[in-house]
Amino acid sequence: MTSPETKKRPWWQQIPLTVQILIALVLAIALGIALGAGNPSPANASLIENLARPAELILKALRALAPPLVLVAVLHTFMTAEIPGTAGRKLGILLFTNTNVAILIGLLVANVVRPGSWGKFAAPEGTEGATTKFDPWGLVQDAIPKAILEPLVNNNVIQLIVIALSLGIVLRAIKSEMVSQNNQAYKPIEDIISILFEAVIRILNWVIALVPLAVFGIVSKTVAKEGFAPFISLGAFIIAVILALLLQACYYLFMVKSFSWVNPLNFLRGGTDAFLMAFSTSSSGATMPVTFEILQTKVGLRESSAALGALVGANFNNDGTALYEAMSALFISQVLGQHLNLGQQILVVLTSIFASVGAANIPNAGLVTMTLVFQSVGLPTQYIAVLVTVDWFLDRCRTAINVMGDMTVSTILDGKKPHTLDS
Ligand code: ASP
């Protein structure tokens, strides 16, 4: 969803966010070196600590925005998605399978490469809590909140999922009943949810506009205090994420080859415009019209299958994001030297599914919902600040995979028979 800006934006907002982040990175490294690059003078200690304050505030804002974003995104999807019966079931199964495969690939690569053990970070300020034990019964007991609004207040992700799903399912059922009776009474609620969704995203955009400031603070503080050693594991993390995303792309090509009439090479060739657009905008939402168009004109799918994957799937199918969320949680647990046991990794799978559904199809949205994944296994969310420094790049890569996931779903829904004049 985009916000129509009619006013002329100030000059600094006309510089693309990526360029702003790159400038912040260069300035931060220069300042970090000037402040000691690992051997800071005690006289600068408080200045160095204060450098990270903007990042702490930005993270606080992201943590606060995550629960309402997930809630309205799930409600919006349930209220507005137009999905016909059988195709809808097939779509649901495909989306669920693909997202789970993505998360499992992410966890596998993170467990094998162990990027978090390649270098050490000092704990960010105010790091709270240690990883919690996995307690399935405790989770079930805790899943029902004491009050409807409680999960919004205490950021409890499992409770939030329960509330969002119950409300979403029931609202959709009520809408279907009303539609069959030609009753329009559901419309105001649908409009309110759409407006709230747009409002949360606009506030999110304000926070995201401040990300270069956070990057500047975190990088300059890290370089000043610890030199360049922490960036070794961050480099390993980038490589691990790219490797996992590539494996996911191979899985898509395998699915296209096995379950559709489309040749995987034509799929790749036809999808180039959409992949490039996704990579350059970091937004599968902005890429949506291109995806829809090329699926019909270049890949040759029927309009109905193109619409289901590209228009419906694009709203909540974010496999690249799911993979990234799970890998990030594992990466930070490795950085902390805290082992996430199987139970906790299952919890990461569960929450990553919802975090990816809740991540709107706009730049950096995955970073916001990641706070929920971290909280579910008791990882300190302060470490997300470290990931902010590489998110501008990894977001582009995972968005391209998000779009490829939508295209794969459309292609499989198109079936084993090519589009001919009689179909
Ligand atoms: N930028 C991604 C997308 O638009 C969402 C995310 O941040 O993971 O698909």
For the stretch 366-418, pLDDT in tens is: 888 888 888 888 888 888 888 888 888 899 899 999 999 999 999 999 988 88
Instruction: Round to whole Å and give the CA distance between 362 and 109.
Output: 26
Q: How many Å separate Cα 412 from the centre of its chain?
A: 24
**Ligand 1 center to 30 CA (angstroms):** 30
Task: Render the burial of 35-66: b for 16+ CB within 10 Å, e for the rest.
Answer: beeeebeeeeeeebeebbebbbebbebbbbbb
At the top level of CATH, the class of 16-413 is mainly alpha
What residues contact residue 71 under an 8 Å CB cut-off, 6+ apart?
152, 160, 163, 164
Q: Which atom of ligand 1 is nearest to the CA of 320?
A: 8
Instruction: Find out whether the beta carbon of 40 lies less than 6 Å from any atom of ligand 1.
Output: no
Whether the CB of 402 sits within 6 Å of ligand 1 = yes
Ligand 1 neighbourhood includes 315 CB (under 6 angstroms) = no
Report in angstroms the alpha-carbon separations of 346 from 20, 135, 234, 244, 353. Answer: 37, 11, 24, 18, 11
pLDDT for position 412: 94
pLDDT of residue 139: 61
Separate counts of helices (H) and strands (E) for the chain: 18, 0
Q: What is the mean pLDDT of residues 242-258?
A: 97
Band (363; pLDDT cuts 50, 70, 90)? confident
Which of 345, 320, 310 is CA-nearest to residue 401?
320
The CB of 361 under 6 Å from ligand 1? The reply is yes
Which residue out of 18, 319, 324, 364 has the highest number of ligand 1 atoms within 8 Å of its CB and is therefore the one to mutate? Answer: 364
Residue with CA at minimum distance from ligand 1 atom 1:
363
Confidence (pLDDT) at 84:
65
CA–CA gap between residue 138 and residue 142 (Å, rounded): 6
- Ligand 1 contacts CB of residue 369 (under 6 A): no
Over 60: is that where the pLDDT of 215 sits?
yes
pLDDT of residue 240: 95
Report field, pTM of the whole predicted structure over 0.85: no
CA of 362 to the centre of ligand 1 (A): 5
Give the whole-angstrom CA distance, residue 279 versus residue 249: 14
315 CA distance to ligand 1 centroid (A)?
10
Average pLDDT over residues 207-214: 81
pLDDT for position 85: 67
Q: Which of the 8 DSSP states describes residue 35?
A: T
Question: Is the Cβ–Cβ distance between 396 and 319 less than 8 Å?
Answer: no
Q: How confident is the model at residue 321 (pLDDT cuts 50, 70, 90)?
A: very high
Helix or strand holding residue 113 (H, E): helix 85-113
Ligand 1 contacts CB of residue 399 (under 6 A): yes
**3-class SS at 167?**
helix
Following CA atoms 242, 245, 251, 257 in sequence, which dihedral angle do they give, to the nearest 10 degrees?
A: -90
Pairwise CA distance, residues 252 & 247, whole Å: 9
Q: Whose CA is nearest to atom 2 of ligand 1?
A: 399
Query: Where do the domains of the chain lie?
Result: 16-413
User: What's the CA-to-centroid distance between 400 and ligand 1, angstroms?
Assistant: 9
Mean pLDDT value across the chain: 83
The pLDDT of 29-37, averaged and rounded, is 86
% of the chain exceeding 70 in pLDDT: 90
Instruction: Out of 395, 404, 407, give the residue to mutate to test ligand 1, the one with the largest number of ligand atoms within 8 Å of its CB.
Output: 395
- Residue 370 Cβ < 6 Å to ligand 1: no
pLDDT at residue number 120: 67
33: Cβ–Cβ under 8 A, 6 or more apart, which residues? 223
C-alpha distances in Å from residue 263, one per residue of 90, 273, 299, 313, 404: 21, 17, 9, 21, 15
105 C-alpha to center of ligand 1: Å? 18
Q: What is the DSSP letter of 156?
A: -
Helix axes 157-180, 365-376, angle to 10 degrees: 120
Residue 396 CB less than 6 A away from ligand 1: no
Ligand 1 atom closest to 282 (CA): 1
Polymer length in residues for the chain: 423
Distances (CA, A) of 98 to 95, 128, 150, 217, 246: 5, 34, 32, 37, 14
